[in-house]
């Protein structure tokens, strides 16, 4: 009788433990929203999930890199736009200085205005920086942007060299001696730099969009592998709870019956 009782009790205990595991698993799914929380749940799905999320995280980190690159390019382009405006001011003064009706003193005033504009250009170049890296003085070198799967480059922009010929640009002499060659060259160089930056910014924006779309698709694929079916998890949670309660009650009743039987045997 004792061996049979022990065997039966062990059987009940095993059933209760198995039901409790199902209950705990369903509870874990509901708390995390994932049907695969450990390798024991599904080793293949867990490995695939980790690989997918590793790639998605790399793409998201790459998107951050791209975003910083776009910010830097926008700062550089904004500064170049200001330089173009200052070159426009110099051009207007130069055209006026080329008017033979202007006096030497008039042209001297225009020269002072041009020098002030040139100083503004240099100030703009010196202030155009991102995270301590100057973007326009020719010291940055080409800037590599890792996108998570590949790399793209922001070409070095040397606006200081582009406008250096204007340092000695002079409109204070006779109207006939004024040449716009240096000014035209500076304009052309700055315009080319802006075009280059524009193309690179567009490329960065396209890479950013591709990264985000790919990362979203990967995360959606990962969710299909690991996300829990909430309705199913709730059903299993409730069912295992009911079964567990019934098993505990059955085991309790069986133990009480065994105890009563033993008591009767000793009281006879």
* Per-residue pLDDT tens digits for 50-106: 888 888 999 999 999 999 999 999 999 999 999 999 999 999 999 999 998 999 999
Q: Which pLDDT value is given to residue 223?
A: 72
Mean pLDDT score, 150-173: 93
Q: Which pLDDT value is given to residue 2?
A: 46
Dihedral class, residue 141 (left if φ above 0, else alpha if ψ from -120 to 50, else beta) = left
* Per-residue pLDDT tens digits for 18-61: 666 655 565 665 566 565 666 666 677 677 878 888 889 999 99
User: Which two tokens mark 214?
Assistant: 């790919």
pLDDT band (50, 70, 90) for residue 1: very low
Q: Compare 4 and 265 and report the one with higher pLDDT.
A: 265
Query: SS in 3 state form for the chain?
Result: CHHHHHHHHHHHHHHHHHHHHHHHHHHHHHHHCECCCCCCCCHHHHHHHHHHHHHHHHHHHHHHHHHHHHHHHHHHHHHHHHHHHHHHHHHHHHHHHCCCCCCHHHHHHHHHHHHHHHHHHHHHHHHCEECCEECCECCCCCEEEECCCCEEEECCCEHHHHHHHHCCCCCCCCHHHCCCHHHHHHHHHHHHHHHHHHHHHHHHHHHHHHHHHHHHHHHHHHHHHHECCHHHHHHHHHHHHHHHHHHHHHHHHHHHHHHHHHHHHHHC
Q: Which pLDDT value is given to residue 95?
A: 94
* Per-residue pLDDT tens digits for 205-247: 999 999 999 999 888 877 766 555 554 555 555 555 555 565 5
* Side-chain half-sphere exposure of 209, counting CA atoms within 13 A: 5
Q: Which pLDDT value is given to residue 22?
A: 55
Q: Which pLDDT value is given to residue 192?
A: 96
* Per-residue pLDDT tens digits for 114-128: 999 999 999 999 999
d(Cα 72, Cα 155) in Å, to the nearest integer? 12
């Amino acid at each position: 009788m004792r061996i049979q009782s022990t065997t039966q009790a062990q059987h009940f205990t095993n059933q209760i433990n198995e039901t409790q595991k199902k209950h705990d698993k369903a509870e874990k799914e509901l708390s995390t929203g994932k049907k695969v929380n450990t390798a024991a749940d599904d080793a293949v799905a867990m490995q695939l999930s980790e690989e997918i999320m590793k790639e998605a995280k790399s793409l998201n980190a790459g998107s951050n890199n791209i975003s910083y690159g776009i910010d830097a390019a926008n700062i550089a382009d904004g500064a170049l736009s200001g330089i173009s405006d200052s070159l426009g001011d110099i051009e207007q003064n130069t055209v006026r200085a080329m008017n033979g009706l202007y006096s030497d003193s008039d042209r001297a005033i225009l020269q002072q205005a041009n020098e002030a504009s040139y100083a503004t250009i240099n100030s703009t170049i010196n202030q155009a920086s991102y995270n301590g890296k100057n973007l326009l003085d020719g010291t940055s070198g080409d800037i590599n942007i890792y996108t998570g799967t590949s790399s793209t480059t922001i070409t070095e922009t040397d606006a200081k060299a582009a406008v250096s010929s204007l340092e000695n640009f002079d409109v204070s002499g006779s109207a006939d001696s004024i040449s716009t060659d240096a000014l035209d060259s500076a304009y052309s160089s700055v315009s080319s730099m802006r075009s280059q930056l524009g193309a690179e910014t567009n490329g960065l924006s396209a890479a950013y969009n591709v990264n985000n779309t790919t990362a979203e698709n990967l995360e959606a694929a990962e969710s299909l592998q690991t996300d829990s079916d909430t309705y199913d998890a709730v059903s299993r949670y409730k069912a295992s709870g009911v079964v567990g309660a019934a098993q505990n009650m059955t085991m309790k009743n069986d133990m009480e019956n065994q105890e009563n039987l033993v008591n009767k045997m000793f009281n006879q």
